[in-house]
């Protein structure tokens, strides 16, 4: 299980699906793709740390280097760790581990490619030096013959002509030429020759041998995985070619038989168009015209070919219209004992579109609310009760339907009174009959003035 609680294979598939959805349609190069993947990996690790690590600070952004600078500054000035669970990136020791594009080739393959690149560069350098010497000799000849001549170009070092993406791959893999899949016709032809000989026991050995054929322009080095994938495609194509070659004799025989049995058709453009556009009678006339033109055209041909000629296949004619006697003048008919039709003959007069009525203005009277508990137990003060917003606030009934004083119960619940809410005089009248407490809007339940004075007198 990984840090996200998923199996490694399932987590990898999920990550690949997210990357394909996020960046699948972006036409970016290798360097930009590495930057995008690094940014996504950084954000994923940061979000996972916020979810999984205790006391990990939630900074609200992904610029962790700012927090690193702040923590280093606070530690230097105050000798205090600002975020104990935060580890600065500078505190990690540098290792040989790499991310993004990493080298996948073996040491043997790297040695073979390095030797081949040195041979190619030496050959290119000799060619450059030869051209330089020729330019120097030509300049000397021109100097001896005239006073003005172009200066000789500075000597240059041989190097391979690569694109920006190829240079990025070379830098990440530590090679002078990138490992690329099969793309050029020269590489495919070379693979055909190599695969047909069957001299290599595995793909790795073939990849090492392939380095000896690299030229840096049309043929590039290959990884064993490139050879394995292209071998599957090549084998499939070979099976198709072999199948076609085996069936070629039968296919040629069938083609010649079809040519011998298939009659030649002589079509006249005007006759065919008239036959396709006319009814059954016109089609018959066109058929006779075509037959006549075919007979006239076949008079100059051999006898056996004349017997195989036939007119072209014509399109079927359209549905014939019913007779006028079958039509009725009325707007309804009886078919199978059922009357159908009956539509109005008068044309429909378009009506002018009318705007709907406006919403009526409110008269200012709001809907009067009531206490649900008072209505449940047939209370007479449901519209004045304090339980209009919540049934637990009902001034007269408890959840069992027993009369009690809410003021006394509220103060007793808050340990501010010892009066029995079920013995209060308000249980036999209204809430205003409570001799001890009253409700002040916006300030809650308060003691009445007489009760306060009584307490003061008792204290004296």
Task: Give the tens place of pLDDT for each residue, 205-233.
Answer: 999 999 999 999 999 999 999 999 999 99
Question: What distance in Å separates the CA atoms of residue 429 and residue 254, rounded to the nearest whole number?
Answer: 112
End-to-end CA gap in the chain? 76
Q: Which residue has the higher pLDDT, 150 or 195?
A: 195
385-390: average pLDDT: 86
Query: pLDDT above 90 covers what percent of the chain?
Result: 26
Tokens representing residue 19 in the block:
């990357």
168-175: average pLDDT: 90
Estimate to the nearest angstrom the gap between the alpha carbon of 13 and the chain centroid.
Answer: 15
Query: Above 60 in pLDDT, residue 327?
Result: no
DSSP symbols for 414-457: TTS----TTSSGGGGS-GGG-SSEEEETTTEEEE-HHHHHHHHH
Angle at 28 between CA 24 and CA 29, to 5 degrees: 125
User: pLDDT-based confidence at 148, cuts 50/70/90?
Assistant: low
User: pLDDT-based confidence at 378, cuts 50/70/90?
Assistant: confident
Taking CA atoms, 100 is separated from 90, 169, 179, 180, 226, in Å, by 20, 11, 16, 17, 19
Angle at 457 between CA 451 and CA 460, to 5 degrees: 145
Which residue pairs, CB below 8 angstroms and at least 24 apart, start in 427-432?
A: 427/396, 427/403, 428/403, 430/381, 431/381, 431/385, 431/386, 431/395, 431/396, 431/405, 431/406, 431/407
Q: What is the pLDDT of residues 417-438, one digit of tens each?
A: 888 989 898 888 888 889 888 8
Q: What is the pLDDT of residues 358-367, one digit of tens each?
A: 877 766 666 7
Question: What distance in Å separates the CA atoms of residue 444 and residue 393, rounded to the nearest whole number?
Answer: 12
Q: Where are the domains of the chain?
A: 8-91, 107-245, 268-307, 378-459
Contact 447/436 with Cβ under 8 angstroms? yes
pTM for the predicted model, two decimal places: 0.49
Residues in the chain: 460
Query: Above 60 in pLDDT, residue 279?
Result: no
Q: What is the pLDDT of residue 280?
A: 46
The residues, any chain, with a CB within 8 Å of residue 14's CB and separated by 6 or more, are 6
66-94: average pLDDT: 89
Neighbours of 451 (CB within 10 A): 16
Tokens representing residue 237 in the block:
């194509």
Identify how many contiguous H helices and E strands the chain contains and give both numbers: 15, 4
């Amino acid at each position: 299980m990984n840090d996200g609680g998923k199996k490694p294979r399932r987590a990898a598939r999920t990550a690949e699906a997210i990357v394909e959805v996020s960046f699948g349609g972006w036409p970016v190069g290798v360097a930009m793709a590495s930057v995008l993947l690094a940014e996504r990996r950084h954000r994923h690790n940061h979000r996972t740390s916020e979810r999984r690590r205790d006391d990990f600070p939630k900074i609200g952004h992904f610029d962790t280097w700012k927090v690193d600078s702040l923590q280093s500054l606070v530690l230097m000035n105050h000798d205090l760790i600002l975020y104990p669970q935060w580890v600065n990136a500078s505190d990690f020791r540098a290792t040989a581990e790499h991310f993004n594009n990493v080298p996948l080739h073996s040491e043997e393959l790297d040695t073979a490619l390095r030797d081949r690149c040195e041979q190619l560069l030496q050959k290119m350098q000799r060619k450059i030096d030869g051209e330089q010497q020729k330019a120097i000799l030509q300049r000397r000849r021109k100097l001896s013959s005239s006073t003005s001549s172009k200066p000789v170009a500075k000597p240059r070092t041989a190097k391979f002509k690569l694109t920006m993406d190829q240079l990025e791959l070379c830098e990440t893999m530590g090679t002078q030429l990138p490992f690329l899949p099969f793309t050029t016709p020269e590489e495919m032809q070379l693979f055909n020759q190599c695969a047909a000989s069957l001299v290599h026991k595995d793909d790795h050995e073939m990849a090492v041998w392939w380095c000896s054929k690299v030229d840096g322009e049309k043929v590039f080095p290959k990884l064993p995985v490139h050879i394995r994938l292209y071998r599957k495609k090549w084998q499939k194509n070979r099976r198709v070619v072999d199948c076609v070659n085996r069936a070629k004799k039968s296919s040629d025989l069938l083609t010649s038989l079809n040519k011998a049995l298939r009659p030649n058709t002589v079509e006249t453009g005007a006759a065919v168009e008239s036959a396709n556009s006319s009814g059954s009678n016109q089609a018959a006339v066109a058929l006779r015209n075509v037959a006549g033109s075919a007979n006239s055209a076949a008079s100059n041909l051999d006898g056996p070919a004349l017997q195989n000629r036939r007119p072209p296949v014509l399109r079927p004619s359209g549905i014939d219209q019913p007779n006028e006697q079958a039509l009725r003048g009325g707007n309804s008919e009886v078919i199978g004992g059922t009357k159908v039709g009956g539509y109005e003959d008068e044309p429909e007069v378009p009506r002018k579109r009318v705007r709907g009525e406006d919403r009526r203005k409110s008269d200012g009277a709001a809907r009067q609310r009531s206490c649900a508990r008072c209505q449940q137990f047939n209370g007479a003060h449901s519209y004045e009760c304090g339980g209009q917003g919540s049934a637990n606030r009902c001034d007269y009934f408890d959840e069992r339907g027993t009369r009690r004083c809410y003021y006394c119960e509220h103060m007793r619940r808050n340990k501010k009174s010892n009066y029995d809410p079920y013995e209060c005089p308000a249980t036999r009248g209204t809430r205003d009959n409570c001799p001890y407490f009253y409700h002040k809007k916006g300030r809650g339940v308060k003691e009445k003035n007489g009760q306060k004075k009584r307490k003061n007198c008792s204290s004296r």
